[in-house]
Structure 1
Amino acid sequence: MNPPVRVFAALPAAESDCRNRPQDLEVTCLNKPVREIQVTGVAEVSCPADRAWLVVSVTSTKESINEVTNSISRRLEYIFQTIRQHGVSEEHRTVRRTLCRDAEAYVMEAEILVTFSEFKKMEQTCCVLLEKLDKSVQVGTPRFFHSAACLSELRVRATVSAVENAQQKASKIAQLLGESLGASLLVREEETKEWRNEEEATGGECNSMHFPPLLPTATATSQVSVSFSFRDKSKKKL
């Protein structure tokens, strides 16, 4: 994509030229020559989701509360051990338990919500749990999302890239005019936009041959206006 370029140039005009200028021509009379260039830079940056939620649930039915509690606790301990071995700390998991009575038995269900930052380890965790716990465990479909840090970095990258594009254009224009580009005088961010291709995205089964699935993507655009000075040719080189 070739982003648009706006160029503004100001040239000194003699006082007599100002008095005798045509009516349809606007000329600004300056006491000092203005040697600067202003360009617009545009950039678009995208990044895939960097986090995923995964819900793992286990259910047990026993004749007493003590039995069903012990049964669920053993399964939970194995699940916790498995996700620890795959690099997930305790702060990135939460547990919710529910207990109800069904006729003469007690039914307890536990749901563990785990947040993964490495999708390959999430796949490995799913496979281990399904293999070892078999039908007593259910592994949900992962839900992918962008962390706040990822989105913040995305916005910064878009703005920095827009400024870099503006600088490259200004440098090429300066060469074309036989000038040498100097320091930046003003940087102004004029417009930013951000969107995602999917607000909520779910993946396939953990044993899918195409895991991980197509991830949701966040995109940020930035448009900046940057003014640069031209170096003074009259100064002698040291």
Structure 2
Amino acid sequence: MPLSLPPARVFAELVPPPVGTPGSENDSPGIKKGFPGFLQQPGREIHVSGAAELSAGPDRAKVTVHLKSKKAEACAARTSVSRRLDYITQTARQRGGISEENVTVTKNFSRIDNAYKMEAEICITFSDFGKMQDVCNFLVEKLDSSVIISPPHFYHTVETIDTLRRQVCLAAVGSAQQKAQEVCQLFGQSLGKPLLIREEEMKEWEGSLENHIISPSDSVSLQQRLQNATVYVSSKMFAVFEIKGEKKRKQAALKN
């Protein structure tokens, strides 16, 4: 399922050079030794912060179908369950485009008093939620109470979460660079290369507080389940950029 990426919320600030007394050596780029946090040439660096927040809806849904049969004869119990299992599998393949690797079946056979009980559970993983609804509605219509279909469990693949983390990191760095560029332009300066980029914080959470409604799981709507399963990731970055000298700015202007 495609990522849902709302516009990043960003901020940045210009940090003035600190003033103090000499201290221990500091090997940070562009910073004078003996003056922690001091600029080698005051005003030739710009310190900015950038932040971004992105979200991604779930891209997988797992539906579990329960079915059972209790008969006086073992063969009859097995046949009853097997026939419905085949029908469910065929429906998932034809109407949902589901391959065998996305279908898992477990069975349990037991004897209770003078009867035989056959139970089965089939788990189907969907990537298309529209087809998932179509398959579930069709099975309810055709099999009625002979099967119990659990509410879908929505989740994300590892690849989706990794992509989201990278995107929010790049968005936060981009916002810091953009703000630094705008501040330099405001003062007639040219932004140079980055001297330091550091991630200050990254947070991840699922859903939002207002979406987590306290109610029986069966009464939660499909849209609410999707909202509750949506993952949000935020990142805060700190960056230091060089401010180009007069000579470099003139050379850059001539090239342009």
TM-score after normalising by structure 2? 0.74
More strand by share: 1
In structure 2, distance between residues paired with 1:28 and 1:89: 62
Match of 2:106 in 1: 96
Per-residue CA distance 1:24-53 (angstroms, 9 max, x = gap): xx99695x6773222111111122222222
Q: Quick one: which of 204, 213, 238 aligns to 1:194?
A: 204
Note the 1:197-208 alignment, pairs <5 A: 197=207
Per-residue CA distance 1:156-190 (angstroms, 9 max, x = gap): 12111101110110011001111112232322112
CA change 1:73–1:62 in 2 (3 A) is: same
Query: What RMSD, in angstroms, separates the aligned Cα atoms of the two structures?
Result: 3.1
Match of 1:79 in 2: 88
For structure 1, list consecutive stretches of 5 or more residues without a partner in the other structure.
Answer: 11-25
Shift of 1:132: 1.6
2:243 counterpart of 1:230 = yes
Match of 1:7 in 2: 15
Name whichever of 173-182 and 102-111 sits farther off. 102-111
CA change 1:138–1:233 in 2 (3 A) is: same
CA change 1:52–1:97 in 2 (3 A) is: same
Match of 1:17 in 2: none
Name whichever of 78-87 and 195-204 sits farther off. 195-204
Task: Give SS of 1:3's match.
Answer: coil
Name whichever of 172-181 and 52-61 sits farther off. 52-61
Shift of 1:147: 2.5
More helix by share: 2
CA contact (8 A) 1:47 1:154 kept: yes
Match of 1:125 in 2: 135
CA change 1:69–1:214 in 2 (3 A) is: closer
Match of 1:48 in 2: 57
CA change 1:29–1:212 in 2 (3 A) is: closer
* Count of residues in Structure 1 that have an aligned counterpart in Structure 2: 219
Per-residue CA distance 1:107-133 (angstroms, 9 max, x = gap): 211111222222111111101111122
Stretches (4+) displaced over 4 A: 26-30, 198-205
Match of 2:172 in 1: 162
